[in-house]
Amino acid sequence: MISIKPRIVLASAAALLALSACNADKDAKLAAPVAKDAVVATVNGTAITTSRVDAIARQGAGSGRPDTPESRKEIIDLLTMQTVVAEEAIKKGLDKAPEVTEQIDALRQSVLANAYVRDFIKNNPVTDDMLKAEYERIKATITGTEYKARHILVEKEAEARDIIARLKKDPASFDKLAMEKSKDTGSKARGGDLGWFDLSRMVPEFRAAVAALEKGKFTQEPVKTQFGYHVILLEDSRPIEAPPFEEVKPNLAQQVQQQNLKKQLDDLKAKAKIEIVGAPGAAGSAPTAAPAAK
């Protein structure tokens, strides 16, 4: 069986989807009546709330940092210091500095963009009908054959020829010879068994040898690849089939959600009036002058 994979890369949509997923539990809580946010500390009258501490604690937990009373105390200490320093920055007028206002605007846009993505996902859920339609669409594109084979990998051609000679006398000894002779540590203990595979996973020489074999036959000549010399036994082949719907449903749901989100973002971009004046140069580099008119 093979897994159904996305046929297109949805990088920008996936990135926004990942960012919005971090706030899924928060959205669920906001959907229900919420009590007034508790205050854990104040700095010159400015409140530091439980929800702010919770958000940072969740981020830390996602990075492997335990959420403990001690870690929360550190978070509160950090937020109080940050508030004190931010107030001093405002007193000095730094909040009006162009580079600061630009960063604040960029952060605001990022927060709003993520809020839009979360809202879109919440109000445009993926239905079973959508998933089944996408499953059938991808299923129809799956073609080809997969193979079940064993191999014995050795370093020298003479070793491979000796193994072939022994197999001609006793074809049933393939498993035993693989366990004794093969240097492929991944399949040696299984008698050279490679399981079911798509030929595209194999190097060209191996691929061609398997495709030319009849079921139950082994290669009559050593197959040389970058790994050494192979003796290959083809045990079976079958048409490639899609895995059951329920098996791929979770991944499929994420894929369809990403596709829907990408379409929405592309539509928004297409409707917007966007003018690219020019790509900025690297930091510190001198601007490139336009060629003089003749």
Is residue 114 over pLDDT 80?
A: yes
Measured CA to CA, the distance from residue 4 to residue 245 in angstroms comes to 10
Residue 67: pLDDT over 70? yes
Cα dist. 169→154, 191, 257 in Å? 19, 18, 58
Which amino acid, 53? Answer: V
Res 278: pLDDT: 75
Q: What average pLDDT does range 5-31 have in this prediction? A: 43
Residue bearing the bigger pLDDT, 13 or 107: 107
Q: Which domains does the chain have, with CATH numbers?
A: 12-27+37-122 (1.10.4030), 128-139+243-269 (no CATH), 143-239 (3.10.50.40)
State how far the Cα of 276 lies from the Cα of 243, in Å rounded to an integer.
Answer: 45
Percent of the chain residues topping a pLDDT of 70: 82
221 falls in which pLDDT band (50, 70, 90)? very high
126 to each of 134, 161, 273, how far by Cα in Å? 11, 57, 30
CA dist 177 and 230 (Å) reads 12
The pLDDT of residue 282 is: 64
Flag whether pLDDT at 87 surpasses 70.
yes
* 174/163 Cα distance (integer angstroms): 9
Grade residue 48 by pLDDT with cuts at 50, 70 and 90.
very high
C-alpha–C-alpha distance, residues 192 and 160, integer Å: 14
Question: Is the overall model pTM greater than 0.75, yes or no?
Answer: no
